[in-house]
Amino acid sequence: MPNYKAPRRDIQFVMHEVLAMADHYKTLPGGEDMDVQMIDAILEEASKFSENVLAPINASGDEEGCSWEDSEVTTPTGFKEAYAQYVEGGWPSISHDPDLGGQGLPESLGTMINELSGTANWSWSMYPGLSHGAMNTIEAHGTAEQKQQYLLPLVEGRWTGTMCLTESHCGTDLGLLRTKAELQADGSYAISGTKIFISAGEHDMVDNIIHIVLARLPDAPQGTKGISLFIVPKFNVNDDGSLGERNLVKCGSLEHKMGIHGNATCVMNFDGAKGYLIGPANKGLNCMFTFMNTARIGTAVQGLCSAEGAFQGALEYTKERLQMRSLTGPVAPEKSADPIIVHPDVRRMLLTAKSFAEGGRMLAYYLSQLNDTVKRNASSDEAKEAEVLLSLLTPIAKAFMTETGLESANLGMQCFGGHGYIREHGMEQIVRDARISTIYEGTTGIQALDLLGRKVLMTQGESLKTFTKKIHQFCKAEADNEAMAEFIQPLMAANKEWGDLTLKVGMAAMKDRNEVGAASVDYLMYSGYVTQAYFFARAAKVAQDALAGNTSEADFYHAKIFTARFFFTRLLPRTNTHSATMLAGADTLQGLDEEHFCF
C-alpha cells in the first residue's frame, strides 16, 4: 500500500507563494489574525492526523467495507475511532460561525484539510465531507430556529449530514423525482419516497444524521419548479436539543459498488418521515445548489487526491524497482538492472500525475480563495467578481480534475506493471475509488453542458471574459520577461483561441442547439488545460523570482519550473485535439439514425 506523506512543501508553495493566502485572510472578517505561522501549524497537525490515523485504515477499510443488518450500518474497523479523534481535534468546526460553535476561520483552510484527509483515506473523508454541505445549506437557507436546533451539533461533529437527491428513475433530471411531502397539523411534513446512492446515509459514527432531502408538495408545479427542500433527521430532535424517537427513515440496503468501499452508499427509505421545510416552497433546487456547489468543489479535490496518491505510490515504487538498463547506458552499474524511473516512458507517466496533482492543487485552492471572498465580503465589488469566477470555474474544476485524477490513477497503476493489478500494492484501489468521481455530483457531460451552455453562452461570454482578462493581464505584465517567454507565448495564444472557439461554437449553436452538447466536453477539457496552464505560468514566475534571490531551496524551485515546462510542452498541446473535435459539428454524432445503431 502506498505510504502517504502529506505534500507539506507544495501546499505551502501554493498557499503562501502563489496565492498569498495570509494576505488574503487579512481582508476577511474573522481572518485578521491569520498568518503564515498559523496556517503552517494547522497544516502540520492536519498532516499528522491524515498520515498517522487515516492512512493506516485506508486499505483495511477497503477490504472490510461497510456491513448492513436490519437497517443499521457498521463502518470498517477503526473508522469510528478515527472520527472520534477528528471531533476531539476540533476539525469539523474550523470554518464555521463562532456563534454556532465554530472557530470562525476561513473556509479555504477546510479545502486544505479535505485534500490531506482525502488522499490518506477518501472513503473515510466522505463522512465529515458531506456534513459541510448540509451545514452550509442550513446556514444559508434555514430559519433561526433551524440553525439553533441543527447547526450546533453538526458544527461540533456530534451529528453528520447527507444530501438526498437521486431516485432510481431520475439522476440528473431531478424534475422527475417522486418523493412526496405532505403538510401535517403541527407544521411539519411527512416525507415519503426512496432515495438511492446516498453517501454516508447510515453509519455508526454519530448519534444522529441530518438528511437534506428534495421532495415535492402535493400542489407543486411539474418539473424542477415544483421541488422543495426539507430537513429530515434520523432521530427527531426535542425542543431542548435532546434526541427523541427514531424517525421513519431507514437504510434499506447498501449499494454493491466498484470502489469507496469504506463509505456507506445507501438506499434510504422515507416512510412518512417527519421533515421540516427549509427555504421557500418550490424553491428547493435553488437552495440545494448551495450544497451541490460545495460538493462539486469537494469532488474536484478528489481528483487532486487521486493524482497525488497515484504519484506518491508510483514514485516510491519506480525508484526501487529494477528493470532493464537505461537506453544511454547503465545508471546503477553495481545493480543487476537500473531502477525504472530512468526510462523516458516511466518519467512521462510520473510527470503527468505530478502535473495534474500540482495543477489541481492550485486550481482547487484558488476556488477556495474565491469562496472565502464571496462568503465573507458578500457586498463588495471584489466579491461580485469572485462569484462570477467561482461559477465559471467550478464545473471546470469538478470535471477536469476528476478526469485527470482518474488518468493519473491509471498511470500510477501502470508504473507498477503487473504488480499494479494486484491488490496488495494499493494502486488498483486508487483507480477504483477514483472512478466514481467523474460520475457523482454531476457527470463530466453534465458539468460540460453547465459550463458551455449556462455559464458561457447564456452570459454571452461575459463570465468567460472575466477570467480570460485575468490571464491576459498576467501575460501582458510578463510580455517583456524573456525568461517567461516559453510560458507566456503559448498561454497568450491559447487564451485568445479560447475566446475564438467560444464564438464559433456559439454561432453554430444558433443554427443547431445540438452543437452545444456535441462540443461541450471537448470545450470543458480545453478550458481545463488553459486554466491550469495559467496557474503553472504563475508558479514558474514565483519559482524564477525565488531563484533570483538567495534561496536555500534551489532544487525545489528548479523542479517547479521543470514541471511547468512539462505541462506546457507535453499536456497543453492536447488542446489542439479538443479544438478540432469541438468544431467537428453535431452531425458527426447525430447523423446516424437510432435504428442503425446495431451489432
Catalytically active residues, by annotation: 441
Sign of CA dihedral 143, 251, 249, 277: positive
Question: Which phi and psi (to 5°) does residue 191 adopt?
Answer: -100, 125
Query: Does residue 147 contact residue 297 with C-beta atoms inside 8 Å?
Result: no
Distances (CA, A) of 376 to 94, 104, 120, 365: 15, 11, 30, 16
**Is the distance from CB of 252 to CB of 271 less than 8 angstroms?**
no
Q: Residue 596 and residue 172: Cα distance in Å, rounded?
A: 27
Cα atoms in the 13 Å half-sphere on the side-chain side of 9: 6
The span from the CA of 289 to the CA of 369, in Å, is: 19
Cell numbers at 474, concatenated? 498576467
Rounded CA gap, 261 and 64, in Å?
A: 8
User: How far is 165 from 136, CA to CA, in rounded Å?
Assistant: 16
Grid cell for residue 339: 531502477
CA distance 49 to 203: 22
Name the strand (E) or helix (H) holding 433.
helix 427-435
Cα 525 to Cα 400: distance, rounded to the nearest angstrom: 6
**Neighbour tally for 214: CB within 10 Å:** 25
d(CA 14, CA 189): 47
Position 536: which residue type? F
CA atoms of 76 and 53, how far apart (whole Å): 14
| Burial of residue 355 (number of CB atoms within 10 Å: 0-12, 13-18, 19+) | buried
Q: Angle, to 10 degrees, between the axis of helix 284-320 and the axis of helix 344-376?
A: 150
Cell digits of residue 16: 503562501
**3 state DSSP class of 484:** helix
CA distance 204 to 39: 32
Are 359 and 339 in contact by the 8 Å Cβ rule? The answer is no
DSSP letter (8 states) at residue 183: E
Give dist(CA 416, CA 263) in Å, integer. Answer: 27
Cell (9 digits) for 556: 525545489
- Relative to beta strand 208-215, strand 159-164 is parallel
